[in-house]
Chain A
Amino acid sequence: MARRLGLHQEVLQVNVWRGNASGGKHCHYEVPSLESQTILDVVTWIQRNLDPKLSYRFACRVGMCGTCAMMVNGKPRWTCRTHVRKVLDNNTLTIEPLRNLPVIKDLACDMSEFFDKWDRAQGRFHPSKTRSDDVVRIPPTSVHRTQVDAAIECINCAICYAACDVVQWNPDYLGPAALNRAWTLVNDVRDNNQTVRLRAVSSDAGCHNCHSHQSCTTYCPNEINPTASIAGLKRATAKATLSGKI
């Protein structure tokens, strides 16, 4: 393959995990190194030129949809916005499916449990108004709104979930993304389901299991701080418990 790419073409050594839920192994590929190349470019090049059966998932290619996350050299990354030259280790890339999620095939994971946990954390908006009511005006500088300025930017890429050691140790744990979502709604003054939500995030699989390792914060591509959101939930649930509300 190196010869096919030309004598003067720099070549990346790429190991891609291939398999399904019952197991798999790393397959080796040689991929031409290009200027401003992303990890998603590498995976796409392999599929188009070397192995059309390679399965992976992507959509927008510009860091908005949160679809293309994978493990790159052992760390969870959004592959469409991760430049090869920034993560290359000894001219080698190892690309694997996201940690903590069941594999469907190759680099494509089953996200069902990830989104089911959103539901279990009451990550759904429950309106308190009808269409006949006036629109609620929320000042951008209000305490509740500023507390979730960053948290509402989550793109559901599951990178935080893959980075979380507590999810690995305790698969029932709701995880940073679902709890971050719950925190945005706890601060939504229009929501009408706060007691149920605080109870949901106080369950045996809830926010109190977080050890504040901050891996979610370290790897979040949108620079959100889910650990801070979870700390907010811990405070809110502690106050609600001590005051007898939940």
Chain B
Amino acid sequence: MIGVRLYLAQRISAMIMAPLVLIHLVTIIYAVQGGLDAAEILSRTRGSVVWGALYALFVLTVSVHAAIGLRVVSHEWLKLRGTGLDVLTWVVGLGLMLLGGRAVVAVIM
């Protein structure tokens, strides 16, 4: 159900996500120390290439990682096989990429 390529994709995406999650958590904890509202957050993130790249990478890795993880769970627990399993993997991956990409655009542009 997963071969070496999907295994590598999931492990590598996890390795990329780990520091990104830490950066995200540390930043929000630091940024809200003195109180912060949505308008202030947007004023800092809009037009920022760095935040845009960081969250775009995060969305990409989450999409890959979650799609493969749900593929495994669906195969083992819901007994999905063959084309159905492939379709589910792609729908989850592309869906997360679309929704996450939309959120990144909203925060950056």
Query: Which chain A residues have a beta carbon within 8 Å of chain B's beta carbons?
Result: 166, 169-170, 172, 202-206, 208-209, 234, 237-238, 241-242, 246
Contacts and interface: CB of A to CB of B under 8 A. Distances in A.
In this complex, the interface size class of chain B, counting residues with CB under 8 Å from chain A, is: 10 to 19
Instruction: Tell which of B4, B7, B75, B77 has the most Cβ of chain A within 10 Å.
Output: B4
A209 B8 contact: no
B3 A234 contact: no
Interface string B3-20: 111111001000000000
A234 B2 CA distance: 12
A206 B75 contact: no
Instruction: Tell which of A205, A208, A237 has the most Cβ of chain B within 10 Å.
Output: A208
Interface of B: 1-8, 11, 72, 75-77
A209 B1 contact: yes
Instruction: Tell which of B5, B7, B75, B77 has the most Cβ of chain A within 10 Å.
Output: B7
Contact of A204 (B1, B11, B77): B1
Contacts of A166: 76
B4 to A, nearest CB: 4
B7 A204 contact: no
A246 B76 contact: no
